[in-house]
Amino acid sequence: MSVGIRHDDLRRRNRAMVISAVRRAGQPSRTEIAATTGLSHSTISAISSDLIQEGI
């Protein structure tokens, strides 16, 4: 039996991937973050917007 990943766990993992990519690259574009992480552009945009709103 396989166990699925919960939505909030996936969101936290994706957010951590984006933060890590930004730390490594300095000021990468959203396209560069997408290429580095393998996440979709819409996911990168959503996470980036959240981080900007939070002042991160």
Domains in the chain: boundaries: 3-54
pLDDT of residue 56: 85
| CA quadruple 32, 23, 46, 55: dihedral, nearest 10 | -140
pLDDT of residue 34: 96
| CA quadruple 21, 26, 29, 30: dihedral, nearest 10 | 30
pLDDT < 70: residue spans in the chain: 1-4
The pTM of the full predicted model, rounded to 2 decimals, is 0.83
